[in-house]
């Protein structure tokens, strides 16, 4: 597995990480614990060193799963987790008022202490603010994480779905190692302002949902039905009408994949990897064959001509549907 360094931080991780959320939360019922432990350990055997979780996944059960699975392999892995939600409120409340934010410094410290125990580690490698809390100055957030770093409880500070001015303000207090943002062929907003800012400041980008929450794999179409516990059932971009319209993007990936003797998912991931050397996608999966398929993307070389062809064709496709309901979208790019 190739390695990448996230910005100027010196944090080296595998070129492809593993998003662990779906093992416990959001994509239907929780998966079998022993199967997921086996999958996580197999990922390490395959060369994956970067694992992404959060207290809010479950809540708490995903951190516990990751902690149990990776405890024997601690010296081989980088574990990222997140703070920023009020976990006394059900995080699955995707409808109505939505999740409740809480990035007060005292909560950040409490989350860190609890996450260390659940993850069975003595230092959090990368600690993200999950969403920017408009009620807490970002300087206070960065200052709280800086204290945790000085105490040896956290190694690196990250932000998720933050706006460029917020990133600059936070970075002035405590250097930001990486920004986590949705980024894929069907969500390219980071390209306008975010990528130039990150490059200027020497901050890495961790791309979540690099396969469009599964859509870009080609295994979802307008007739697919989602379990009531699958949060995609609440997303405007996943209505049957939107899926039918957005099939054009999958068809494009399929055409390129056929030329490359690859899969649509591998092309989508290789496209991201080719954008910048400091971008690390973290596709999630609960299946070993998907894990291996995703890892195969690291070896897929897209030429400059391939990239121009993809970009030119993708520019002709209008992606239908908002990526989140309005309440959740309002929590991004602050």
Q: What is the C-alpha radius of gyration for the chain, rounded to an integer number of angstroms?
A: 19
pLDDT at residue 94, rounded to an integer: 43
pTM, rounded to two decimals: 0.96
Task: State which residues of the chain have pLDDT below 70.
Answer: 90-98
Catalytic residues, by residue number, are 57
Contact between 83 and 128 under an 8 Å Cβ cutoff? The reply is yes
pLDDT in tens, 119-129: 999 999 999 99
3-329: CATH superfamily: NADP-dependent oxidoreductase domain (3.20.20.100)
Whether residue 295 has a cis bond before it, omega within 30° of 0:
no
Distance CA 115, CA 60 (A): 8
**pLDDT for res 93:** 52
Helix extents (H) in the chain: 33-45, 61-70, 105-119, 138-150, 164-173, 194-201, 240-260, 264-275, 288-296, 304-315, 326-329
Residue showing tokens 């209505």: 239
| pLDDT tens profile 84-127 | 999 887 655 544 456 899 999 999 999 999 999 999 999 999 99
Question: Rounded to an integer, what distance in angstroms lies between the CA atom of residue 314 and that of residue 284?
Answer: 24
pLDDT of 71 reads: 98
- Predicted confidence at residue 89, as pLDDT, reads 75
CA 274/CA 219 separation, integer angstroms: 24
């Amino acid at each position: 597995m190739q390695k990448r360094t996230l910005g100027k931080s010196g944090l080296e991780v595998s070129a492809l990480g593993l998003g662990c959320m779906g093992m416990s939360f959001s994509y239907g019922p929780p998966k079998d614990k022993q199967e997921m432990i086996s999958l996580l350990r197999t990922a390490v055997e395959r060369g994956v060193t970067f694992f992404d979780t959060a207290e809010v996944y479950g809540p708490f059960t995903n951190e516990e799963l990751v902690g149990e699975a990776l405890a024997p392999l601690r010296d081989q892995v980088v574990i990222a987790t997140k703070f920023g939600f009020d976990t006394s409120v059900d995080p699955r409340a995707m409808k109505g008022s939505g999740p409740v934010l809480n990035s007060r410094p005292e909560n950040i410290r409490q989350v860190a202490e609890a996450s260390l125990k659940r993850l069975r580690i003595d230092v959090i490698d990368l600690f993200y603010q999950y969403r920017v809390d408009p009620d807490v100055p970002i300087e206070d957030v960065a200052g709280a994480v800086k204290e945790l770093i000085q105490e040896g409880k956290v190694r690196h500070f990250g932000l998720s779905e933050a706006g460029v001015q917020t990133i600059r303000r936070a970075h002035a207090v405590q250097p930001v190692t990486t920004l986590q943002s949705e980024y894929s062929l069907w969500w390219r907003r980071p390209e306008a302002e975010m990528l130039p800012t990150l490059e200027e400041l020497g901050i890495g980008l961790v791309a979540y949902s690099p396969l469009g929450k599964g859509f870009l794999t080609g295994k979802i179409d307008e007739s697919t039905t989602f379990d009531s516990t699958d949060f995609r059932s609440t997303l405007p971009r996943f209505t049957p009408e939107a899926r039918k319209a957005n099939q054009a993007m999958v068809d494009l990936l399929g055409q390129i994949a056929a030329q490359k003797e690859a899969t649509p998912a591998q092309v989508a991931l290789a496209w991201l990897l080719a954008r910048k050397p400091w971008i690390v996608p973290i596709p999630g999966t609960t299946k070993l064959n998907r894990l291996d398929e995703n890892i195969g993307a690291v070896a897929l070389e897209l030429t400059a001509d391939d990239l121009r062809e993809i970009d030119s064709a993708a520019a002709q496709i209008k992606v239908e549907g908002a990526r989140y309901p309005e309440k959740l979208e309002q929590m991004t790019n602050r």
